[in-house]
Structure 1
Amino acid sequence: MDTRHLVAPAYREAAAVIPVFDMDTQSVEQIRAELLHAYEQAYGSPDDVPKQEVFIERGGDAPIRALLYRPEQHAARGAILHIHGGGWIAGSPDMFAALCAEIAKRHGVVVLSVDYRLVPEAAGDAALDDCFEALMWLRAHAARLGFGADRISVMGDSAGGNLSAATALRARDAGISLKSQLLIYPAFDDRTGGPNAPVENPFAGEFVLTPKYTRQLWNARLAKVAPENLPYLAPARAEHLAGLAPAFIAMGSLDILIDEALDYAGRLIRSGVPTELHVYDGVFHGFDLVPGPETEAFKADLARAIEKALA
């Protein structure tokens, strides 16, 4: 596969040097370190960003760490539960400190970024449990933090987009209303990249997130998971999508996840869920870490989606 000619001009230099991860040749620790380095290059050191560390208690288990960002004004317009990416094996809320602080300031919202458990140290469904606990914490503390408990959105990229969609599904099934689900190149389908993938796209998956690495990540995540939990962990497997929060989905045309995003967006629309799907031509997974016109367009679209949820 050679799709370099399809890469948008501003992203070609990055495409030529951007690392391709492989769990056969790299340890989890190496992947975590490389991802941290990439985000520090894009967003700067998290130590430079003011934030509050909170710990969410849960019965019998270690508390869940999260980072809290508050707007300058006392009364917040709402809240966002932010869920970081990293393929469920890597990443942390610290990597997104600058982004979360900017969203809190620009939109006048509380942002809670959750430090969920990773695989392989924890089972693949532990991350979703942690995210849902963080959502419950936000709801319980809404009055103290200055917003209504019915004014919470979920937002995440990649694995965090997957967990955001899954949190939205679980919230719906628990009778909890969300304002929106803001899904940035999310993973929906555990079959992608394998022989049972619903679609085989020869023009997607050369950069960053390859078919091989996609399979490695899903295999690692699902290794200790009971089959009955699959519809939450892989939202493409959920039978019914009606009643979900309005969705914003952003995807690059060269991302291996593009076809499952197209399918999920179509199912949402056919289920009566207000849905925005934005496809940015010539860019790959994680494109928003690279400066360029598609990145600027995405940032503007995301800002409009956040404002739409707050209106």
Structure 2
Amino acid sequence: MAQHPSGQFPERGDWQVLRENLNQFYSNLGKQFPVNPEVVTKDFFIKASIGTEIKLRWYIPPTKVESGSAILYVHGGGRVSGSLELYDQIVSRFAYLSGVPFLSVDYHLSPELNAEQQVEEVFSALNWLKEQADDLEIDKSRIAVMGDSAGGGIAASVAILARDREVQLSHQILIYPMLDDRNLVSDEQLLPFAVWTYDNNYTGWNAALGKEYDKNNVTAVAAPSRLLQFEDLAPAFISVGDLDIFRSENIEYATRLAKAGVPTEFHLHPRAPHGFEFIAPDAKISKKAMADYIRVIQSI
């Protein structure tokens, strides 16, 4: 099992220490995943719509599924940490197990960029992937967006932009997504199990929203739980543990999607904290969750 790194515990609002701790955690985490040399990778650099340059990594599995589908992957890290490199083995593993090619996005972190700018970078990657579909030998109508934690929240925002800008998106695969900037009131029952804490949640959202934090005018692109109209969003898959502080916001988001007529598959895993399938990959519940992820990825 991967352990959180020892060292200074970040104070509420200290994104620098939180970034250092999480990046060390992701570095440790990656070491427990097997290397898959059969997966071929190629790096690209593109200019996003907001003018920034972002790095993309294309993962080609040894045996591709016949559907021509592809997954755009958004890494986690509370908006303030994580990277394409730190997630390299995780994304490679998804490609290897599913037989579906992946495009990983090295979006810029907060507070260097705000929440909406991060989403625009990832949305630019989606448009690039569609433009390159023929060269990459994929079907541009079978592209899904996927992410975990903060990456899951950004993926949900990309799905909102795709609908609003009339860009076809096949699916949104949201793994315990970070959706609601208002989730700050501690649930005493969850505190002992909070891998991602309420203080961390404040720090991540505060860095991502800046002066707009804790105001009523935060947009749904910045924080998807602010969305009012859910109709016509891409079909959704959402998975979360019942010991995760994102549990309630994920349940509510899935419910609102379903009520709006969006095809939605939702999983609530008992006795599972945030990041459970990465932290304890050999646990029975982790294997079940991963099997569900691979099944949905292969269904695109």
> What TM-score results when the alignment is normalised by the length of structure 2?
0.87
Q: How does 1:22-37 map to 2 (within 5 A)?
A: 23-24=10-11, 28-37=15-24
- The AA in structure 1 aligned to 2:189 is F
Q: From the superposition, tell whether residues 34 and 18 of structure 1 become closer, same or farther in structure 2 (CA, over 3 Å).
A: closer
1:204 counterpart residue number: 190
SS at match of 1:61: coil
Which among 131, 148, 162 is matched to residue 139 of structure 2?
148
CA contact (8 A) 1:123 1:225 kept: no
1:249 aligns with 2:238: yes
Counterpart CA distance in 2 for 1:78 and 1:92 is 24
1:260 aligns with 2:249: yes
CA contact (8 A) 1:23 1:216 kept: no
SS at match of 2:44: strand
Which among 1, 14, 29 is matched to residue 42 of structure 1?
29
2:267 counterpart residue number: 278
Which among 171, 174, 179 is matched to residue 183 of structure 1?
174
Counterpart CA distance in 2 for 1:77 and 1:20 is 45
Q: From the superposition, tell whether residues 270 and 140 of structure 1 become closer, same or farther in structure 2 (CA, over 3 Å).
A: same
1:160 aligns with 2:151: yes
2:120 counterpart residue number: 129
Gaps of 5+ in 2: none
1:237 aligns with 2:226: yes
Percent same amino acid at aligned positions? 33
Post-superposition offset of 1:58: 3.9
Post-superposition offset of 1:114: 0.4
1:106 counterpart residue number: 97
Post-superposition offset of 1:157: 0.5
Q: From the superposition, tell whether residues 265 and 20 of structure 1 become closer, same or farther in structure 2 (CA, over 3 Å).
A: farther
Counterpart CA distance in 2 for 1:21 and 1:134 is 35
Counterpart CA distance in 2 for 1:60 and 1:111 is 23
Post-superposition offset of 1:29: 4.2
In proportion to residue count, which structure has more helix? 1
Gaps of 5+ in 1: 1-10, 195-199
Post-superposition offset of 1:228: 5.5
Deviations 1:231-277 (A, max 9, x none): 11111111111111111111010111100111111111111111111
1:221 counterpart residue number: 208
1:288 aligns with 2:285: no
2:79 counterpart residue number: 88
Deviations 1:4-36 (A, max 9, x none): xxxxxxx9x96xx77799542795444333323
Number of equivalences: 291
1:67 aligns with 2:57: yes
Counterpart CA distance in 1 for 2:177 and 2:138 is 27
Instruction: Calculate the aligned-residue CA RMSD, in Å.
Output: 2.8
SS at match of 1:95: coil
Q: From the superposition, tell whether residues 266 and 130 of structure 1 become closer, same or farther in structure 2 (CA, over 3 Å).
A: same
Post-superposition offset of 1:94: 1.4
Which among 276, 294, 305 is matched to residue 296 of structure 2?
305
Counterpart CA distance in 1 for 2:246 and 2:210 is 21
Q: From the superposition, tell whether residues 52 and 27 of structure 1 become closer, same or farther in structure 2 (CA, over 3 Å).
A: farther
Counterpart CA distance in 1 for 2:7 and 2:189 is 16
SS at match of 2:114: coil
SS at match of 1:55: strand
> What TM-score results when the alignment is normalised by the length of structure 1?
0.84
Post-superposition offset of 1:288: 1.7
